[in-house]
């Protein structure tokens, strides 16, 4: 398979730059994967590509969580999320909290996208905030302890897998596969209308997406994302296991990149 996945360590269908956010600061996020259109405005191509080309710093590149995703951790993470994140990202972590309504780019639907991101990527974004991208997103490394950061990651992932019900405090939708499918269909339809991809390519992308999405979510912990994007490792593993072919993997990435560059994938 061609080595063309050079986007970011958390890339999956236009992965967002994930961040926790608090009600008193401006949040930053990039693009959604399955949700595609997100809940707010679109980033310019330059900004979006700048996020997607991000490389995890060495100090975070090899990190793996040592905090088990059990009930105690998720309960602690819920408190962290409600205190620091829900006002922007919404109670359900879908990027539609009241403090994030006017933000451009809109807050990330992190409940879903966190399913396909590695521990190191998530911990980096929460720890360092938007400094690397010159945004107003604050760094949480001096606000939250390491355990609190791992706990909130566990909680966000529990939200995305519908393992827990969100706390109803700020408002916002819950992780909804049907809504995500609708948004994906709208994005692909717009891409065809604009001539970015053909209808046949849109159909292929829609057909293969659930297979890749499910594999990445179920195998996140076993994929190598220390020195390369987790998606690259995931696709190579899928090819090696005969789940998809090299041609399908390469074609998927090609369509993905065109959607991203066109500014249709958020």
> Domain range holding 256?
7-266
- When computed from its CA atoms, the radius of gyration of the chain, rounded to whole angstroms, is 17
**Which of 199, 222, 213 lies closest to 244, judged by CA?**
213
Residue 19 lies in a domain: yes
Task: Give pLDDT tens digits for 31-68.
Answer: 333 333 333 333 334 444 455 456 788 899 888 899 99
Residue 1 lies in a domain: no
Task: Give pLDDT tens digits for 177-205.
Answer: 777 788 889 999 999 999 999 999 999 99
What length is written for the chain? 266
Residue 255 pLDDT level (bands cut at 50, 70, 90) = very high
The whole-number pLDDT of residue 261 equals 84
Residue 2 lies in a domain: no
Residue 134 lies in a domain: yes
The whole-number pLDDT of residue 94 equals 87
Task: Give pLDDT tens digits for 121-174.
Answer: 889 989 998 777 666 677 999 999 999 999 999 999 999 888 898 888 888 887
The whole-number pLDDT of residue 40 equals 31
Taking the C-alpha atoms of 214, 216, 217 and 223 in order, what is their torsion angle to the nearest 10 degrees? 150
Our count of domains for the chain comes to 1
Angle at 116 (CA atoms; ends 171, 69), nearest 5 degrees: 75
The whole-number pLDDT of residue 242 equals 97
**Which of 104, 266, 258, 105 lies closest to 194, judged by CA?**
258
20 has a pLDDT exceeding 70: no
Residues 6+ apart with CB under 8 A from 45: 261, 262, 263
What is the rounded distance in angstroms from the CA atom of residue 68 to the CA atom of residue 13?
A: 27
Residue-averaged pLDDT of the chain: 77
Residue 47 lies in a domain: yes
Residues 6+ apart with CB under 8 A from 159: 81, 92, 93, 111, 166, 174, 175
């Amino acid at each position: 398979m061609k080595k063309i996945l050079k986007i970011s360590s958390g890339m999956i269908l236009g992965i967002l730059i994930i961040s926790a956010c608090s009600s008193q600061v401006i949040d930053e996020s990039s693009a959604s994967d399955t949700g595609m259109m997100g809940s707010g405005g679109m980033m310019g191509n330059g900004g979006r590509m700048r996020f997607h080309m991000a490389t995890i710093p060495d100090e975070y590149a090899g990190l793996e969580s040592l905090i088990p995703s059990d009930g105690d951790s998720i309960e602690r993470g819920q408190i962290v999320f409600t205190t620091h994140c829900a006002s922007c990202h919404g109670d359900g972590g879908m990027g539609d909290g009241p403090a994030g309504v006017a933000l451009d780019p809109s807050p990330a639907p992190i409940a879903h996208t966190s399913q396909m991101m590695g521990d190191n990527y998530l911990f980096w974004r929460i720890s360092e905030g938007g400094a690397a991208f010159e945004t107003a997103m604050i760094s949480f490394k001096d606000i939250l302890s390491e355990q609190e950061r791992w706990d909130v990651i566990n909680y966000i992932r529990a939200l995305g897998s519908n393992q827990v019900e969100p706390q109803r405090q700020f408002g916002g939708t819950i992780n909804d596969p049907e809504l995500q499918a609708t948004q994906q269909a709208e994005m692909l339809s717009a891409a065809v209308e604009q001539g970015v991809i053909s209808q046949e390519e849109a159909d292929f992308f829609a057909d293969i997406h659930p297979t890749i999405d499910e594999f990445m979510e179920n195998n996140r912990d076993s994929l190598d994302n220390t020195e390369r994007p987790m998606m690259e490792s995931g696709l190579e593993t899928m090819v090696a296991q005969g789940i998809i072919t090299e041609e399908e993997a390469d074609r998927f990435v090609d369509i993905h990149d065109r959607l991203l560059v066109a500014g249709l994938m958020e």
